[in-house]
Amino acid sequence: MTPRAGYHHGDLRNALEQAALELVAERGPQGFSLAEASRRAGVSAAAPFRHFANREALLAALAMRSYEEQRVRFARAAGGAADPIEQLARFASAYVGFAVEQQALFDVTFGAGLVKREHPGLEEAGQRVLDVLRAPAEQLRAEPAAALELIHTIAATAHGFAAFLREGVLTDRARAEVSAAAAARVLAHQPDQRLPS
């Protein structure tokens, strides 16, 4: 965290990402500007372009970071259980927790208007986050298509709860975590073929 020694910064790329995250945390998903981030890093407004093609690219780098962080958190959360259903439930709960505890990362990834299609690595990194669900889903559904659908359904539900919390539709984090986990359990239990009555 040496702000500046001489002419060169030494770790500008990181300092800019850090500053950007803080700006998003302070001012919301739009409140980030390269100029202000540069100011906080103590460099000129042109310096960022040595490290990022443009403003979007910085956001994309943060989104990538976000996906990495998600991957490890969700893997750790799911790893805490042996039962596949419980693994899915813990993923859902952890997903909601991430949106709250890492608001800035979550906002950058989903609320800053980043167009992921234009940043090839991003879409793939996003998909990789869902790999955590692969093993438990395949234990619960023999048919590959059914396993994939379960993955998407659990993830969509978790994402919905997380987004609603960030949007203000929901306000109680703990309740959202519990509901997301409960939904995951219900969805995991119930293969479509065996709908009651």
113 HSE (CA, 13 A, CB side):
8
55 binds DNA (CB under 7 A): yes
> Are 165 and 171 a contacting pair, CB within 8 Å?
yes
173 binds a second copy (CB under 8 A): no
47 binds DNA (CB under 7 A): yes
The CB-of-62 to DNA minimum distance in angstroms stands at 14
∠ CA 28-69-29, nearest 5°, is: 10
Q: How many CB atoms lie within 10 A of CB 111?
A: 16
**Residue partners of 39: CB distance under 8 A and separation at least 6:** 45
Partner whose footprint covers residue 113, from a second copy, DNA, none (CB < 5 to 8 Å by kind): a second copy
Binding site for DNA (CB under 7 A): 6-10, 12, 32-36, 42-47, 49-51, 54-56
Binding site for a second copy (CB under 8 A): 28-30, 110-113, 115-117, 123, 126-127, 130, 149, 152-153, 155-161, 163-164, 167-170, 179-180, 182-183, 185-187, 189-190, 192, 195-196
